[in-house]
Structure 1
Amino acid sequence: MQYPNKDIYDDGMDWQEFTTLLSGIMPETPLGQIVQIRSETDTNMIKKFNSSQKKIYNDWQQKILESMTDVEKKQRSKEMQEQLRKAFSKFR
C-alpha cells in the first residue's frame, strides 16, 4: 500500500487531502495502473495493450463519450476532421 499510515476509510478526510493523496498515487499501485491506462494518449502504446488493458481503456472512453453533450460531440468531431485534413492534405 502506498500510504500505509493513512486510514483510507476515514470519513473525516477532506477533499483537498484526498485529491493531494490521489494526485501522488504511484503507477505501480492498482489504481495508478488504471489511471495510467485510462489517460494514455499514445496510439502506439494503446495498440500494445493486452485485452484487459484494452477493456479498461475502451470502457473509460465510452463513459467519456456518453457524458458529453451534443455540442461537445460536434466540437470533438470538428477537431478530428481538422486533424485528418491536416494529416492527409499532403497526399493531394
Structure 2
Amino acid sequence: MKIIIIFVKRKEENKWYDLIEDWELIEASFLTQYGIRLRVVDDMSWNEFCTLLSGIMPKTPLGQIVSIRAEEDKDILKNFTDDQHRIRNEWRNRNNPINDMTDEEKEKQIKEFEKMMASMFG
C-alpha cells in the first residue's frame, strides 16, 4: 500500500524541527523510540503521528538535533563542538522570524517596543 502524506508547515508550532527537512531524523527517531518503521505503516492517523512525534525523547536522532538547536545555556554552549555550533547557528539563521519581516514591519515592531518601554519607565 502506498502512503501519501501532505504536510502543512507552521513555523511557530515546530520551532526546533521541520517535518520535511528533518524527515529522515523523524523516521529514525520513530524506529529508535517506538520500533515503528514509518515507511511501512499503513494505519496510523495524523493525530496519532502528531502525538508520537511530540513525545520524541532527547536520546533519539531528532531529539539530539533539537537539543542542539534549542540550547540557550551559556555554560553548555561553551563546550559545544564546532559541529554542534554549526548545526545550532545554521538552524537559527535560517529560522529567524526577523528575516521574514519587511522593513515596515520591523519599524512597526520597534515603535511598539519603544511605546511599551515609555509606558513602563516613562
Write out aligned runs for 1:1-92 (5 A).
Answer: 1-4=32-35, 6-9=36-39, 10=41, 12-65=43-96, 68-70=99-101, 74=106
TM-score normalized by the length of structure 1: 0.63
2 CA distance for matches of 1:62 and 1:38?
11
Q: C-alpha deviations, 1:34-58, integer Å up to 9, x for none? A: 0111111222222221111111101
Point out where structure 2 has 5 or more consecutive residues left out of the alignment: 1-31, 115-122
Supply the AA of the counterpart residue of 2:106: K
Point out where structure 1 has 5 or more consecutive residues left out of the alignment: 83-92
Supply the AA of the counterpart residue of 2:72: T
Q: C-alpha deviations, 1:18-72, integer Å up to 9, x for none? A: 221111111111111001111112222222211111111011011112774225x
More helix per residue: 1 or 2? 1
2 CA distance for matches of 1:59 and 1:22?
23
Q: Which runs of 4+ in 1 moved over 4 A?
A: none
The RMSD of aligned alpha carbons is: 3.1
Identity of aligned residues (%): 45
Aligned residues: 78
Supply the AA of the counterpart residue of 1:74: K
2 CA distance for matches of 1:41 and 1:52?
16
TM-score normalized by the length of structure 2: 0.50
